[in-house]
Every structure is written in structure tokens, then in C-alpha cells.
Structure 1
């Protein structure tokens, strides 16, 4: 029982009220009205003591519980008014008990109503006793009344600030979680794009080496060296990826794509050009990674014998076209996700970052054309 009481007084509390021990300290000041009540005749003294006891109970209950706080505040205000008018003007200082209750009102509407009521109470007391208050009395009464009116606002402001800080902390936690998820998704895309391309090249060169071992040993040795170089490059790319230093560019990936296509015995063609420096490093990196994934898909899935990479610089956008003469796409498929793997999904997600887009369409009687379009002016530059 005693531990439970201590926990209630000093343990965890609702964020809508101040610490209980601070609220209970105010009860000490009931000694002044009690002193005045003890000066009354016996019957009036007993009634006064009972009313003060009831006042203390209502005050404690109102601090502890939100339910009924609004009504009980007005009951306590009525008791203060009666004591002030009937017993002693000094009872007006019991209005300090109303200040924390006003400050912790659950809604803004109730706060405004109770604060205005408190203001009317203070003003009414000053008006009623204006002829009885001396200059010395005013020096002590007016500052007390001002404090009585300012304290609820300070309490309200403090509560609001704390709520905003808690919301800000929660928002920061959510941002951190979303950032971590986005970073995981980025790493997943980059690993897929980087390792997928390199491993595809290693696989193709290994198969070619196996066929050349008996026919052309010197060419086989060269292919093995290419495999070693590719594996080292893949390892370096992974290191750069982990450290966030992946700097894939369009020109670099075009060079790698031509090597990959040649290793897969796919005839490659390079057409067009784009203005040097016409795109930002971010767009250049995204275009390079998108080109890498697109060419890897051509090698893996198209069954093509020829692939054309075309660069087109428009007045407001940069285009990359990858066209093959492979088996094409399934016109009867209506579920885009069913024919788009993680690679194409990753391309679309990357392009969203710079307001780019990708279209996939049939080319001629068979074959596929992938068009990647990125505007020169992206969202980040427009926001500056």
C-alpha cells in the first residue's frame, strides 16, 4: 500500500499534468484559509472546515483525473468566491489553485473558457474591494493577480512545447526508419545492378573459355585473364558501393556494355551522342546504372543477335535507347509486374528520383526497345 502511494506521488505520470508532489505543495497554503476559518464561530468553523476539506479533495481529484476537471474547477471557483465575499478578502488568493487546473485543460476551448472565467473572477474581486484596498494592498495584490493569470498560459505553453518535442522526436524516428529502409533498398538495387552485370560477364566468358580450351588455348588464356580482371573490378565496385562511392557514368557503362555484348556474341552498335556536362553527376550516375541493367537484361533474356545503344540529346531531356532484335515482349500479358523483375523495378525507382521515365515497347516484327528519358532540370534544382 505504501509503495503504491509512493509510485502514485513520484512515479510515472500522465503528460497532461505536472508532477504530483509539485501540485500537492500548494496544499500547504490552505493553512492561511484554515487560520481564518478557525476564527469563526463554532458552527461556521465546522462548515468552513468541511468545505475546505471538500475543496482539497476536488483539487487533488482534478489534478489526477481529466474527467470532470472542467466542472470541478467551477465548483472550486464558487467556493473561493463565497469564502472571499463572506469570510475574508484574503481568500481570493485561493485562486492560485485554479491556475494549474486551467493550464492542463484537455482542449483549447475549455482552456480559453476557464481562463476567461479566472480573469472575470480576478477583475470582479478588484472591483468589489476597490474601495477597501490601500496602495500597500495593491502592491501585493496586483502582481499576485497577474501571476494568477499568466501561470495557466505558461503551463499551457510548456505542455504544448513538450507535445511538439515528442512529435518531433517521433517524426525523426520515423524519418530514420524510412531512411534506413530506403538505404537498404538502394543497396539492394546497386548490388543487383553491379554484381548482376559482372557475374553475367564472368559466366559468359567462362562458358566461352570452356569452349576455347581445346580449340584455341591462347584465346582461352586471354579470356581467363579477362575473367580475373572482371572479378577484380566487381570486387572494387562492391567496395565502392559499401562506401557510397559508386560513380557509374553513361560513358563508363557504355564501354562495359559493349564488352558484355561482345562476350555474349551479340553484335553491338553505338549511335548518337550527348553534350558533355549536359547532365548532373547524379543523373549521369542513374543513367549509367539504368543502362547497365538494361543491357544485362538483353544478354540474359532477349536471345538477340544485335543490340543498339543510342544517345539522344533533346532541348529539355536526355534519352537513352536500347534496342534489340530478340524474342520481344509478351503482348498478351496484362500484369506489368509479372514480366518486370527486380532489375526493371529498380530502374523505375531510380528514375523517379530525377523525374525520369522508362518505356518498354516492341520494335518491328520482333525485338524490344527500352527508352529511358531524363529531364535536364530535375526536382532538386527546381527547388533551389
Structure 2
């Protein structure tokens, strides 16, 4: 079970004041009876129900099912003895938050069957209160059917999104670790031997400096040539060092969207030509952030990604058919990462255009990143 103090707003979207009305309603209902012992007995039963309800939230394991069984029994008693059929709403909400699949469907079936049987029993016995409240009883029964399924599916989706996000983080960590190991191997292979050679030649030049100055000068020239060669190799390695490529990020984006049951459509070739590695990295990070926002906030069913290359820019368009940017901002107070994307793009003189609302379905992000092809600076030859 989740922490009970966070369930009302997070999982149902209902205002806490609405739940307060539901808590007060049974006491008001019992107060309508004229006989004192009937009122006292009803109030005691209601208090026992809410105490058991609280205990069901704070306990774990088999005790949860014990308390729910007692709650169902109290709900049946209140429906038969007092014609109050609305405790099933509390049970429907609680059962929807049970994570165990077998436990959920078992309790869901028991609560639904008990609610239908007791309500029909009241109708057969011509209960005047139940008959007068037929529209509200019918709504309560429909809520008992739909609310647990809706809450269970929503919790399941949030759990899957959390697992997906955790898996993506672990994947990123593994990629970073592998990249660090590769860089370490390249640096060792490139510099290790030459630095050792530089050390040996330095010692040799020091010994020859007095005995054979001409040979010492030759060794120093070779030492300088070795250092220049090492510097050139390091520059070439850094220049050609592989970073995050757009084609790899596109593959990960397709996996994430398909896992979220969002249709993925790619238009254009993600293998960019004549583009600096830094700018391609920025483009890949922006794509990653945009896809993450679509999965988390947009409620979209389709995502279209377009890639267009011009002589001076790469244009990436990410379009979804979700609820739009304005509603996304209202639902997520923490923001959707747009500011971070703009900061990355400003670093490489790129820009982003957002189109959402005003009759536009979903949201479109149009990202422009310059190619800025630069050649590595060559070592000056003497």
C-alpha cells in the first residue's frame, strides 16, 4: 500500500474537502432516525468502520485483507440495517490501491458482489429509503465498478513509468561507465608509451649533455618530436571522440515511446552529415528531454519526429497529439524541462520554437541547431 496521507490527491484527483463530506455524510444520515438506541448503534458502527479503515491503511500483509473483510461486513450491515449503501465508495477507493493483482481482483469481486446483493435485497424488501435514493445508489454502484479499475490502472502505469525511468538511468550510467573505460584505454594506449619514451630520452640527454653535447642535442630534438607527436595524437583522439549520437538517442526514444504505448513515427535520416559532435550531443539531449516530457505529461497516443538538414542547420521537430503545453504546465508545477533545453541550445547558438494551443492539437517543438563544422588545429611545423 502507498502512504495513506498522499492517496487522496495523488490517486483520485478529488479535493480533500469532498472526502470530508463523505466522512460527515453517514453521521448526518444516522441522525435522521428518531430512536436513540438506533442512532447510538449506527454511530458506533460508523466509528468502527473508520477506525478499521485507518488500520487497513497503516498495516501490511495479511492484516490488510482482514481489515478489508471486516469493512465489507460493516458495509453490508449498514446497507441492510440502515439502508446506507455508500460505504462501498470507501472500499472501492481502497481496493484500487492494492498492488497485488490476485488480491485486488478478489477483493474487487467480493465488494462488488456484496454491494449488488445487499442493494437488491433492499429493493426486494421495498425499502423506502433505498427506493427514494435510487439515482444516488445507482451512481454509487457505478463508482464501485469503475473507481477501483481506474485507480489500479493509474497506479500500475505510475509504477511502470518509475521502473522505466530507473532502467533508463541505469542504462545511462552503464553507457557513461563504458565511455570512461574506453577513454581511459585510448589515453593509456596513446600517451603511455610516448611518456615513457620522453622520460628515458630526458635522462639520456642529461647524461650526454657534458660527455657528448652533439648527441644530447639530437636526443633533445627527438624528445621534442615525440612530444609533438603525442600532442597531435591526443588532439586527433579528442576530435574524433565519440559522444552521444542522434541515431542512438533516436533508438532509445523509440523504445521508451513504444513501452508507453505511444505510436512512434520517424521522418528523415537521424544519421547527420557534417555536424560537430558537440552540436549533435545537444540535439540528442533535447530529443531525450522532449520524449521524456511526452511520456510523462502529454497523455499522447502518437509522436512524430522529423529530421531535416539544411546547408547550415539541422532541424528537429517533435510533434505529439497530447493535451498541449498549457494544460501540461498546470498539471506539473515543476516544469517540463523547457528551460534546460533552451539553455543547452543557447550554448551552441541554437533556438527552439514551441507551438501549442490556439487550435493546434498537441505540442510541436521545432529545434534548430547549427552545424558549425570546425577542423582541428594542426600543430605548426618548424
1:28-78: CA deviations, max 9, x gaps? 324333233221411122111111111111112222333522111121111
Are residues 16 and 115 of structure 1, via their aligned partners in 2, closer, same or farther at CA, if it must alter by over 3 Å?
farther
Q: Distance in 2 between matches of 1:136 and 1:237?
A: 89
Q: Indicate conservation of the 8 Å contact 1:69/1:105, yes or no.
A: no
Partner of 1:166: 162
1:80-100: CA deviations, max 9, x gaps? 211211222xx1122101022
1:154 maps to which of 122, 129, 150: 150
Q: Distance in 2 between matches of 1:31 and 1:78?
A: 20
User: What number of residue pairs does the alignment pair up?
Assistant: 230
1:50 maps to which of 44, 55, 58: 44
Aligned Cα RMSD in Å?
3.5
Partner of 2:172: 176
Q: Distance in 2 between matches of 1:172 and 1:15?
A: 24
Q: Distance in 2 between matches of 1:135 and 1:161?
A: 39
Q: Indicate conservation of the 8 Å contact 2:76/2:115, yes or no.
A: no
1:87-126 map, 5 Å: 87-88=82-83, 91-126=84-119
Q: TM-score, normalised by structure 2?
A: 0.51
1:71 maps onto 2:66 in alignment: yes
CA drift at 1:144:
3.0
1:150-195: CA deviations, max 9, x gaps? 2112222222222223333333333333333323322221221111
Q: Indicate conservation of the 8 Å contact 2:30/2:42, yes or no.
A: yes
Are residues 203 and 37 of structure 1, via their aligned partners in 2, closer, same or farther at CA, if it must alter by over 3 Å?
closer
Q: Distance in 2 between matches of 1:234 and 1:193?
A: 11
1:259-338 map, 5 Å: none
Give structure 2 stretches of 5+ with no counterpart: 10-15, 243-382
Partner of 1:81: 76
Q: Secondary structure at the match of 2:194?
A: helix
Are residues 30 and 227 of structure 1, via their aligned partners in 2, closer, same or farther at CA, if it must alter by over 3 Å?
closer
Q: Indicate conservation of the 8 Å contact 1:103/1:156, yes or no.
A: yes
Q: Indicate conservation of the 8 Å contact 2:79/2:85, yes or no.
A: yes
Q: Secondary structure at the match of 1:72?
A: helix
From the CA coordinates, give the structure whose radius of gyration is larger: 1
Q: Distance in 2 between matches of 1:104 and 1:155?
A: 6
Partner of 1:194: 190
Give structure 1 stretches of 5+ with no counterpart: 1-13, 247-384
Partner of 1:19: 6
Q: Distance in 2 between matches of 1:73 and 1:150?
A: 19
Q: TM-score, normalised by structure 1?
A: 0.51
Partner of 1:227: 223
